[in-house]
Structure 1
Amino acid sequence: MLVSHGLNSTKLVRHQSSVTAASDDAPEEAPEGTYSEADHEHAVISTFDLFSIGIGPSSSHTVGPMRAGNIFVTDLQEAGLLQQVEKIHVSLYGSLALTGEGHMTPSALLLGLESADVETVDTAYVPERFEQIKKEKKLFIGQGLPEGKGKGKEIIFDYERDFRWQWGKKLALHSNGLRLTVFDKDGNMLATNDLFSVGGGFVVNGAMSTAATSTTTTESGSGELCSTHDEPTGRHPADLAENMYYKEIRRSDAAGDRRTGAEIRASDNSEAPTGLLGEEENGLVQSAVSGDVAAPRFEETQGPRYPFRDASSLLALCHKHNLTIAQLVYENEKSHGYTDEEIQEKIWRIWEVMDNSILEGVQAPVDETLPGSLKLHRRAPALYRRLTRGLYPSHTQSLSTTSPRSPLNSPRPIKSTTTTTSTTALARKEASGKRGPPRVHGSIAHPVMPSPLRRTTFPAMDHLSVYAMAVNETNAAGGRIVTAPTNGAAGIIPAVLKYTVEFLSDDVERDVPTFLLTAAALGMLYKRGATISAAEGGCMAEVGVACSMAAGAFAACMGASPETIEQAAEIGIEHNLGLTCDPIGGLVQAPCIERNALGAVKAISSANLALSSSGMQKVRLDDAIRAMRLTAKGMRNEFKETSLSGLATSVPFNIPVSVPDC
């Protein structure tokens, strides 16, 4: 939604869509939920939108806001307003305000306004540039746009004054809401945009456009826009906004059938447009973007070749056309306009980034702490060393001389904090140190004898745990990872796929595409039928969904039928229902990192249960997704990524979430 004022040309005004414009007094929960059983919107989106490359620590609080900033300045550029901007106000609402600082939302959003690309931005540059913006009080909006010139438009930006945390307020559509408002040199509002980060890096605009005339308004006391309409907000997001199912910055670049919003059109002068947002009360009118628009990447299509809306229709299509789930998704990707070569290239690029995020995590210094006030120590490097003890190259070589395999703009160069000599001494001490008698806690004179300490070994569980924790520690440090389907659960799918590739696969060229395409199909079902946003469904929407996706994908690589894959996915989500999202300190660290390790192990267990069963399960995947949706609706807001209850308030950690994290 782009709201424009004071343009010299004929103004374009947006009808109120079924999205209610930003309302500060919106109810905490819409009674209808966010899904309608009568909705016949298909579930198919691109695998490469569901699995997108981004930066940590959060897909909804970091990746989404950076993409939102890009969308906003692109709209300004296309409307011819960019060079008129002299001031910008940024406001965060709901979960974005409550946990945004610990999720690095401010730095991501401001770099998005400077048109940084979340897939390619140097992750080490993000915090550096953020500090520079705060110090110099300057922002160069749109400097990375293809049409931009040089540094973009330089404006004065005082972080303490212009970046606003709206604690206790929530916009109507979604808890992860943000509002961007720009003004000209005279203080007149030029444009405002309400955007919603709905999970997995997807960003939804708040309204659709139609034509009318505009008026000019000056900045109000707060410089913000409120809706005066009470339109219901409980419909499925597909009915509400045009970009629920794609991640392109420009609408024209998306596949034609996924542009669900109304087209921009001139109003009929004989009939006044209805439902204008706040037209009479505050004099604000909404303008569609105008000007030249880049040529679309996709031709208009009739939709995917094999559209499905739920698990039942997905299985029916597989049987009707004699295709595996992965094959069916592959054919749909071709409907999105990709060639065979492009599909393969994108699949292997995703796996490359996943694999590299594991490598980054296990090669990090053993004694390094993660960013944030928790001062949480990395655990994956030490666990990996113990897991690979006795293998070549030795730890003294691997940890002091190796570097990531591929130049993927890694989070930071891995620099060992110890010299080769000191590391060698440590290894020698570990290998030859004199062992004392085993420690025993308890009385040896008691009838129930105490057990001596023993080290358990479950190689599969150990590998899965290390892989998953490595990814999430990379994510927590702001590194480059793949949203799978979110950042908070980014370790589960890479861990299970890594284990499959390294220990089980007899054909990696077959199994990597099979795994990712199958997982993508399952993720599409959750995105359409429930949610992949922790702000809507707690951690079951992140770790629960990722566990389900990994379980089904693992079963597919084991040769399972579509029905068995469905059963594995159902088991994966069924036993994550009600899982809360209550991160300590608002950081994606505790319990998130360990929870990914358990999610990976649970995914393998779910798949094995399905593979060893008779296939006569009572609960279908569609039933479980429906149950997830109802559970999400019934959960209290305190357990939906707000850090207002649960572990976040039970652990003695006396730094309020709303206080900016250093």
Structure 2
Amino acid sequence: MGLSVLDLFKIGLGPSSSHTVGPMVAGNRFVAELVSRNLMEQVASVKVELFGSLAMTGKGHATDTAVMQGLSGEQPDQIDPDYAPELVATIRELQKIDLGGIKTIAFKEESDLLFCFGQSLPKHPNGMTLSVRDEAGIVIYQNNFYSVGGGFVLSEEETEKNDQPEEASSVKLPYPFENGEDLLVMGRKSGLSIAEMALANEALLGRSDDIRKDLLHIRDVMNACIDRGCVRTGVLPGGLGVKRRANSLHADLLKKQKSGDNHLEAMDWVNLFAMAVNEENAVGGRVVTAPTNGAAGVIPAVLAYFEKFLNKDGDDGIVTFLATAAAIGMLYKKNASISAAEVGCQGEIGVACSMAAGALCAVQGGTNEQIENAAEIGMEHNLGLTCDPIAGLVQVPCIERNTMGGVKALNAARLAMNGDGSHRVHLDEVIQTMYQTGLDMHEKYRETATGGLAINAVAC
């Protein structure tokens, strides 16, 4: 089955798609496996072991709380952000966990949820092992899960299948594409835009009864996140003492708008929108994984900028923007990675910038060739971007980095629109380069908080 637009845009809680959303999904899936194997009655205890980047930055990324929520049956797109901390507090206070709302067992974090620092599972840096024991202490079931970026989760069996040649799908998509060149060739033959081809595929994937309605809902969730971020004040949690800035930026921007004294208004609004989203992400608020949580502000910021200043097509423009962005994101998911633990922040901010640049070009009337050029520019100038969060928190440099990704996307779209679509370096080549660069990157720059700003900036 091919990737869906809805795979690139998931609704969940902050602060991280790979460290928060993914582990919550894994906890849910593990409980479902226990139920399907009729093992729940035998379960006396559960153990969670976190490896690689999930261990190194798990505390700052709320991986521990996300796993507990997932084991309790909560799902990323449905859990109330205000209830989530209460649930974890109750588990800690009672030292009990209610597995999937089915069976209550003892649960002590110090012995049942382990951060295995310096250890990794073989398939991916974001690995975790979940196991259950019976009253005699015998392991009756365990499985490994890998949070591979953007909220995608693979079990041990699924990773092994992933290593094998892909079987032919029973669903024949009208526009099957594996790379950017496929999109360009099919676009020339069909006369369709990238968005139109992506939406035609969506009609057969069976993931949505009304993809247009779902995309507009995604937009609404993005805008609601911006609105919350613009009104809330205070200091972000985690100990760094980072103050929220979106509220004051918004007030200043409104004053400048009234006075007419703002020659960089577009940039200011993009900065505001991106910062508002990622401050909400940092406190565990509801965000859209686009394509990750660490980069969740880029696409909403550019989309909100488009709505505020450029959109003449109403909802049609929104659908085109998000469908185009998703199609570009699929190219990275298929051929590289959207996991900072695997390829650094170029796989998050870089990919989001690329998606937003191509989408903005599309809704301004760009040809498929210009769209591909915009997406290429968006990534080319994020190559080598490291992931080195201070104290493992998705705050510094992550929040400001989203503003930079949004502004770069605007410029990439403008450069592409000023050309005819022909260019020396192509998107597929940049995607390949990004992946190779990420694999060559030292692990201390790949979401482990052991290099770069994470050790050179004082975390207190």
Is TM > 0.5 for Structure 1 vs Structure 2? Answer: yes
Aligned to 2:107: 157
Task: Note the residue ranges of structure 1 that are not aligned, 5 or more in a row.
Answer: 1-41, 144-151, 209-232, 243-255, 259-300, 393-430, 432-454, 655-662
Map of 1:187 onto structure 2: 137
Q: Does 1:207 align with 2:157?
A: yes
Hey, what's the Cα distance between the residues in 1 that align with 2:292 and 2:41? 35
1:325 has 2:249 as partner: no
Could you give the per-residue CA deviations for residues 570-608 of structure 1, whole angstroms, max 9, x where no partner exists?
A: 000000000000000100000000000010000000010
CA distance in 2, matches of 1:114, 1:128: 12
Which residue is equivalent to 1:170? Answer: 120
Is the Cα contact below 8 Å between 2:298 and 2:402 reproduced in 1? yes
Which residue is 2:295 aligned to? 489
2:252 pairs with 1:386: yes
In the TM superposition, residue 391 of structure 1 has moved relative to its aligned partner by 7.0
2:452 and 2:365 map into 1 onto residues whose CA distance is 40
Structure 1 counterpart of 2:276, one-letter code: A
Measure how far apart 1:133 and its partner are. Answer: 0.7
CA distance in 2, matches of 1:125, 1:303: 42
Question: Which position in structure 1 is the counterpart of 2:459?
Answer: 653
* Alignment counterpart, residue 3 of structure 2, candidates 24, 45, 48: 45
User: What is the deviation of 1:653?
Assistant: 2.1
| Distance (Å, rounded) in 1 between the aligned partners of 2:336 and 2:202 | 23
CA contact (8 A) 1:540 1:573 kept: yes
In the aligned structure 1, how far is the partner of 2:106 from the partner of 2:36?
22
Letter in 2 for 1:636: H
Q: Judge conservation of contact 1:84–1:184 (CA < 8 Å) in 2.
A: yes
What does residue 3 of structure 1 align with? Answer: none
Deviation, 1:314, is 1.2
Contact in 1 for aligned 2:367/2:421 (Cα 8 Å): no
Distance 1:597 1:194 in 2: 36
Distance 2:191 2:262 in 1: 45
Amino acid paired to 2:221: V
State the AA in 2 paired with 1:316. Answer: V
Q: Is the 8 A contact 2:4 2:207 kept in 1?
A: no
CA deviation profile, 1:211-255 (whole Å, cap 9, x unmatched) = xxxxxxxxxxxxxxxxxxxxxx9x9x732699xxxxxxxxxxxxx
Distance 1:390 1:517 in 2: 34
Superimposed CA distance per residue, residues 271-316 of structure 1 (whole angstroms, 9 cap, x where no aligned partner): xxxxxxxxxxxxxxxxxxxxxxxxxxxxxx4242211110001111
The answer on whether the counterparts of 2:18 and 2:150 sit within 8 Å (CA) in structure 1 is yes
Residue 257 of structure 1, CA deviation: 6.5
Q: Which stretches in structure 2 are left out of the alignment for 5+ residues? A: none
1:338–1:202: structure 2 CA closer, same or farther, 3 Å change rule? Answer: closer
CA contact (8 A) 1:383 1:466 kept: yes
Selected match of 2:66 from 105, 108, 131? 108
Q: Where in structure 2 are the equivalents of 1:14-25 lying within 5 Å?
A: none
8 Å Cα contact 1:547/1:602 also seen in 2 = yes
Whether the 8 Å contact between 1:492 and 1:599 is mirrored in structure 2 is yes
Secondary structure of the 1:180 match is: strand
Mapped contact 1:46–1:336 kept (Cα < 8 A): yes
Amino acid at match of 1:196: Y
Q: d(CA) in 1 for partners of 2:396 and 2:306?
A: 27
- Partner-residue secondary structure (3-state), 1:388: helix
- Aligned residue in 2 for 1:622: 428
Match of 2:331 in 1: 525
Corresponding position: 1:304 with 2:173: yes
Output the CA distance in 2 between the equivalents of 1:374 and 1:390.
31
The alpha-carbon distance between structure 1 residues 128 and 257, as it changes in their structure 2 partners (threshold 3 A), is: farther
Q: Is 1:503 aligned to 2:371, yes or no?
A: no
Deviations 1:70-107 (A, max 9, x none): 11000110110112111011100000000000101111
RMSD over aligned CA atoms reads 1.9
In the other structure, the counterpart of 1:88 is: 46
The question of whether the paired residues in 2 share the 8 Å contact of 1:204 and 1:241 is answered with no
Shift of 1:373: 1.0
Match of 2:235 in 1: 369
Residue in structure 1 matched with residue 319 of structure 2 by the alignment: 513
What SS does the aligned partner of 2:421 have? coil
Give the conservation status (yes or no) of the 8 Å contact 2:256–2:262: no
1:58 corresponds to 2:8: no
CA contact (8 A) 2:216 2:315 kept: no
Tell me if structure 2 keeps the 8 A contact 1:93–1:165: yes
Question: Hey, what does 1:639 align to over in structure 2?
Answer: 445
Is the CA contact (8 Å cut-off) linking 2:9 and 2:218 kept in structure 1? Answer: yes
Which of 78, 81, 84 aligns to 1:123? It is: 81
2:352 matches 1:563: no
Tell me, yes or no, if the aligned pair for 2:14 and 2:285 is still in contact at 8 Å. yes
Tell whether 2:28 aligns with 1:70.
yes
For 1:257 and 1:136, the matched residues in 2 are separated by 50
8 Å Cα contact 1:102-1:585 kept in structure 2: yes
Compute the displacement of 1:459 (Å): 0.3
Which residue pairs with 1:448 in the alignment? none
Q: Deviations over 1:493-538 (max 9, x none)?
A: 0000000011101112111000000000000000011100000110
Q: Distance in 1 between matches of 2:135 and 2:207?
A: 45
Q: Is the 8 A contact 2:228 2:280 kept in 1?
A: yes
**Aligned to 1:75, what secondary structure does the other structure show?**
helix
Write the distance in 2 (CA, Å) between the matches of 1:240 and 1:642: 29
Distance 2:168 2:26 in 1: 22
CA distance in 2, matches of 1:540, 1:571: 13
Q: Match of 1:536?
A: 342
Query: Which structure has more helix as a fraction of its residues?
Result: 2
In the alignment, structure 1 residue 335 sits paired with structure 2 residue 208: no
When normalised by structure 1's length, the TM-score is 0.67
Cα displacement (A) at 1:456: 7.0
1:360 has 2:223 as partner: no
CA distance in 1, matches of 2:429, 2:165: 26
What letter matches 2:175 in structure 1? Answer: Y
Rg larger for: 1
Cα distance in 2 for residues equivalent to 1:108 and 1:241: 33
Aligned residue pair count: 459
1:461 to 264, 267, 277: 267
Matched, 1:351 2:219: yes
Cα deviation, residue 129, structure 1: 1.2
In 2, distance between residues paired with 1:257 and 1:532?
24
Distance 1:457 1:652 in 2: 36
2:417 matches 1:551: no
CA contact (8 A) 2:354 2:376 kept: yes
Separation in structure 1 between the aligned mates of residue 340 and residue 443 of structure 2, nearest angstrom? 10
CA distance, structure 2, for counterparts of residue 539 and residue 485 of structure 1 = 12
Match of 2:381 in 1: 575
Q: Which amino acid aligns with 1:633?
A: L
| 3-state SS in 1 of match to 2:235 | coil
Aligned-partner residue type, residue 246 of structure 2: A
Find the counterpart in structure 1 of residue 94 from structure 2. Answer: 136
What is the CA distance between 1:390 and its match in structure 2? 7.1
Report the CA distance between 1:124 and its aligned residue.
1.2
Pairing 1:601–2:436 present: no
Identity %: 47
Residue type of the alignment partner of 1:331: A
Q: Amino acid of the residue matched to residue 336 of structure 1? A: L
Distance in 1 of aligned mates of 2:152 and 2:421: 35
Tell me if the contact between 1:206 and 1:241 (Cα under 8 Å) persists in the aligned partners.
no
Kindly state the Cα deviation for residue 125 of structure 1 after the two structures are TM-superposed.
1.2
Instruction: Please state how far the C-alpha of 1:629 moved relative to its aligned partner.
Output: 1.1
CA distance in 2, matches of 1:135, 1:303: 52
Displacement, 1:160?
1.1
Q: Match of 1:294?
A: none
Secondary structure of 2:157's aligned partner: coil
Q: Give the distance between the partners of 2:162 and 2:55, measured in 1 at CA.
A: 25
SS in 2 for 1:207: helix
- Large movers: runs of 4+ above 6 Å: none
